[in-house]
Amino acid sequence: MNRAYEKTFSVEGDNFDNAGTASIEIKKILKDLRIDEDVLRKTAIAVYESELNIISYARSGNITLYVDDDTINIDVEDEGPGIEDIDLAMQPGYSTATEHIRQMGFGAGMGLYNIKSCSDLFEISSTPNVGTHLKIIIKRNGR
Ligand SMILES: Nc1ncnc2c1ncn2[C@@H]1O[C@H](COP(=O)(O)OP(=O)(O)OP(=O)(O)O)[C@@H](O)[C@H]1O
Ligand SMILES: [Mg+2]
């Protein structure tokens, strides 16, 4: 790739009808950019879980994808309740998902843990009553 690629996707809170739309589009872009299968898989998981968390918990958010020759960068910023105890939220199995969310098959409490597992760099910061910010970097191996 000669030039870096960047695009921002907006995600609306509570709109489960659109769940996965941004993730599917990002997957297509990465395929077109001929990103390696394993890197694509990890990116797809990280983006999907991030998108679902905005829909499940925030009012609205943006996912920015930035791809250069060495890395995939995903920035996730939302406006919402934020996360009071980040260490707790990161624990696999911890979830505050409502019954409504669980009935749709989400709320296992694995999203943030899986995002971190897929990332080479993962940073999370959050301000209660303001919002949450994730910075995710996945290396494009062997390049
Ligand atoms: N963007 C966010 N804004 C506010 N709270 C969040 C946000 N993302 C996660 N949380 C909180 O952290 C908890 C853990 O999130 P995580 O994604 O790991 O699991 P989950 O969304 O509950 O379930 P799963 O992702 O497995 O469907 C959530 O239940 C919620 O309380
Ligand atoms: Mg989640």
Distance CA 60, CA 82 (A): 12
Pocket test for ligand 1, best of 112, 116, 118, 129 (most atoms within 8 A of CB): 112
- Decide if 76 contacts 26 (C-beta within 8 A): no
How do strand 71-79 and strand 131-139 relate by DSSP bridges?
A: antiparallel
Question: What is the Å distance from ligand 1's center to 20 Cα?
Answer: 16
Q: Which ligand is nearest to the CA of 106?
A: 1
Domain ranges of the chain: 5-139
pLDDT-based confidence at residue 143 (cuts at 50, 70, 90): low
Q: Which CATH number fits domain 5-139: 3.30.750.24, 3.30.565.10, 3.30.1330.10, 3.30.390.10?
A: 3.30.565.10
- Supply the pLDDT for residue 3: 76
Q: How many C-alpha atoms does 134 have within 13 Å on its Cβ side?
A: 29
* Tens of pLDDT, residues 87-136: 999 999 999 999 999 999 999 999 999 999 999 999 999 999 999 999 99
- Supply the pLDDT for residue 141: 78
- Decide if 42 contacts 102 (C-beta within 8 A): no
Residue 80 to residues 56, 77, 120, 140, Cα–Cα distance (Å):
10, 10, 26, 32
